[in-house]
Chains A and B, each alone.
Chain A
Amino acid sequence: MSGKILSRLYLAAVGLFLAMPLIVVLGVSVNEKQDLAFPPVGFSLSWYAQIFFDPEWRRALIASVLLALSSAAIAVSIALPLAWFLWRRIAPWANIFQLLGIAPFILPPVITALGMLTFWASSGLYGQPWTAAISHGIFFVTLPLVTLSLGFASIDRSLTEAASTMGADDRTIMRTVVLPLIVPYLVSGYAFAFVLSLNEYIVAYMTVGFTLETLPIKIFNALRYGYTPTMAAVSVFFVFVAAIVFGLIAIFGDLRKLLGAMSSN
């Protein structure tokens, strides 16, 4: 019995450690005046309104959301045919592409960032907004690649075999059997890439940092010129977006399975 209480206490202590900075930021974000007092003095949601109505913050918000939407789409567009091919064909050497897709995520991010910086600088395209979308798309290709590989592995091959016996060609099978089965994995892969791209700083900074301000870049720049509660509000906003997206994945998909709770085949 006491063991149960102890284990609850331990879980709660780790939870508190993880929540502590976020609680303080939440408190700071509702200050009435422009200072970072905690506990907050007065109550105001005006700093949240500022994310959407202050032209500079709104521009950063729009840039971040557009970047995340497009780079997640690029990541999925690369991962889907690759994962399908690896599932459909026996071609051991093609695994090298899987390795290439996972490498940017395993290596320290500053390496991908610097690689992208030298590449775009050398090709003369440095600073174009779309270069950030491609860079993020490559950087986060790992996430849809992993979820889609899990998704393909979970398809019962006798289903596709039955379809093929009954005369369906590859394209029909793909449309009527395979795609419907992997849509949840496709969506979660997109969502993972979206949330991480929204939060990403170093790759975005090294590729387009001087021409385009995403929210993380704007927060970091603001850190140097003095703190405002808006930064706290943006941080809380980010935590909420992440919690909602992952919460939705948990409700409509199987988060435990995605995180490896069950063996993949």
Chain B
Amino acid sequence: MKREHTRSLTDYAPLVYPGLMLIIFFVVPFSTMIAVSFFQRDPAGFYKTAFVFDNYARFLSLFFGQVLGFSLLLSVLVALCCVTIAFPFTYLLVRQSRAIQTVWLVALLSVLSLSEVIIGFSWSTLLSRTAGISNLLVWLGLIDQPVALLPSFGAVLTGMVYQALPYSILVLYPALVRLDPTLVEAARTLGASPGRAFFNVVVPALRNTLVATIIMVFVFALGSYLLPQILGRPQHWTLSVLITDQAIYQSNMPFAAAMAVFLVLISLALVGLTLLVGRRESAA
């Protein structure tokens, strides 16, 4: 059965239900959020209908600038750490037997699907004074008594790298599986060491994939909303945390919506950039 053009209106029938669901429960909520970002706060309820730019004007404050700057910086750091660890890892992984790859993929998916709540709880336990890693160091005789390693910037960064690492590996996996193995073989035959073949042949061949992955992981890290709260101090809060906080605890839905719209714009611009990078790669 070939793909056919739609001939009559009834051919569109299968599209009615999914189309309606996506429009009513995604497009409409999304538009509602944009509308609410121009509304006014109502301390007694959710919001008051209005048309003001006050919520966006608040972006111009020093506090917001600091949160935004910190979020972007943290996400860049997470993306760089993740791809630095994930790229050699995935390169080595695709060289294992199919069975070993499958076991790894199951493990990676299991960690990836873990709730941020559980990742946060696990790391806060691992870095705590009573049950944490510092007890191991005491036992090894490296330090005198156990210490709490959180809340701290290092804890937030570690937790977020943990959360985004399986994602980075799974984004890199298809590109590395399909990489022509003769490329590396040729380099090796010509006398390059495995390390040199990796850095001089594999890395440049996948440069665009690497850039696209860094951006994808960056957007993923921007979405982290609980780890900065659980593992960090208030000065480590990111835009996502601030949105949650304003919407739920400060009941300022219009301001939260304005920040969310801003976050969408940043994310969309970056996702657009990855598509552009990807297109250039397939064209080359």
**Residues in A180-199 with C-beta less than 8 Å from chain B:** 195-196, 199
The answer on a CB contact under 8 Å between A250 and B119 is no
Name B268's closest neighbour in chain A (CB-CB): A107
Selected interface stretch from B11-19, B53-61, B62-70, B202-210: B11-19
B40 within 8 A of A: no
Interface majority SS (helix, strand, loop, mixed), chain B: helix
- A206–B251 Cα gap in the complex (Å)? 12
Give every chain B residue within 8 A of A242 (Cβ-Cβ).
109-110, 113-114
CA distance A109 to B29 in the complex (A): 14
- Please tell me which one of the listed residues A21, A81, A157, A160 contacts residue B122 in the complex, with CB atoms under 8 A apart: A21
Alpha-carbon separation in the docked complex, A134 to B2 (Å): 34
* A239:B110 contact, CB within 8 angstroms: yes
Residue A175 at the chain B interface, CB threshold 8 Å: no
Instruction: Give the residue name and chain of the A residue nearest to B22 (CB).
Output: A100
* Contacting residues of chain B (14-54) with chain A, CB-CB under 8 angstroms: 14-15, 17-19, 21-23, 25-30, 32-33, 36, 46
Q: Which residues of chain A have C-beta atoms less than 8 A from B131's C-beta?
A: 24, 27-28, 36-38
Q: When the two chains form the complex, which single residue of A28, A78, A94, A117 contacts B21, counting CB atoms closer than 8 Å?
A: A78
A-B contact count (CB 8 A): 273
Contact B15 A119 (CB under 8 A): no
Q: Residue among B14, B19, B110, B225 with the most chain A CB within 10 A?
A: B110
B32 touches A21 (CB 8 A): no
B174 touches A259 (CB 8 A): yes
Is B173 an interface residue, CB under 8 A from the partner?
yes
In the complex, the chain B residue whose C-beta lies closest to that of A77 is: B17
Task: State whether the Cβ of A209 lies closer than 8 Å to any Cβ in chain B.
Answer: yes
Chain A 216-260: CB-based contact to B (< 8 A → 1; otherwise 0): 110110010001000110110011001100110010000110011
A160 near B1: Cβ-Cβ < 8 Å? yes
Known: A81-B14, A173-B1. A246 touches B111 (CB 8 A): no
Proximity bits, A56-88, B CB within 8 Å = 1, else 0: 000000000000000000100111011011011
A3 with B257, Cβ < 8 A, contacts A10-B92, A37-B131, A206-B247 known: no
CA distance A12 to B240 in the complex (A): 33
Chain B residues whose CB sits within 8 angstroms of the CB of A196 once the complex forms: 113
Closest approach, in angstroms, between the C-beta of B225 and any C-beta of chain A?
5
Query: Does more than half of chain A's interface fall in helix, strand or loop, or is it mixed?
Result: helix
Residues of A close to B11: CB separation below 8 A: 89
B-side contacts of A157, CB under 8 Å:
1-2
A100 to B29, CA, bound (A): 12
Q: In whole angstroms, what is the CA distance A209 to B115 when docked?
A: 16
Q: Are A107 and B267 in contact (CB under 8 A)?
A: yes
Q: Which of B15, B105, B111, B177 has a CB less than 8 Å from the CB of A250?
A: B105
A88 with B1, Cβ < 8 A, contacts A14-B85, A260-B174 known: yes
- Which residues between 1 and 44 of chain A lie within 8 Å of chain B, taking CB atoms? 3, 7, 10-11, 14-15, 17-18, 20-22, 24-25, 27-28, 35-38
Query: Which residues on the A side are within 8 Å of B153 (C-beta)?
Result: none
Are A243 and B29 within 8 A (Cβ)? no
Name which residue of chain A comes closest to B222, CB basis: A108
* A108-B4 CB under 8 A given contacts A135-B25, A250-B102: no
Specify which of A74, A206, A242 lies most central, judged by the most chain B CB atoms within 10 Å of its CB: A242
Chain A residues, Cβ within 8 Å of B226: 201-202, 220
Give the CA-CA distance A210 to B178 in the complex, in Å.
Answer: 47
- In the complex, A116 has a CB within 8 A of chain B: yes
Contact of A52 with B by CB under 8 A: no
10 extra A-B contacts, CB within 8 A, seeds A14-B165, A90-B4: A24-B131, A37-B130, A38-B125, A107-B267, A112-B26, A137-B25, A202-B225, A223-B121, A246-B110, A247-B106
Per CB-CB distance, the 10 closest pairs between chain A and chain B, nearest first, are A108-B223, A260-B174, A119-B29, A21-B122, A38-B131, A160-B1, A199-B115, A115-B29, A82-B18, A242-B110
Q: Report 29 cross-chain contacts, Cβ distance below 8 Å, ordered by A residue.
A: A14-B89, A17-B165, A21-B122, A21-B125, A77-B17, A91-B5, A97-B19, A101-B22, A106-B219, A107-B267, A108-B219, A108-B222, A119-B29, A119-B32, A122-B36, A138-B22, A199-B114, A205-B248, A216-B115, A216-B117, A219-B118, A232-B125, A235-B118, A235-B121, A235-B122, A239-B111, A242-B113, A243-B110, A261-B174
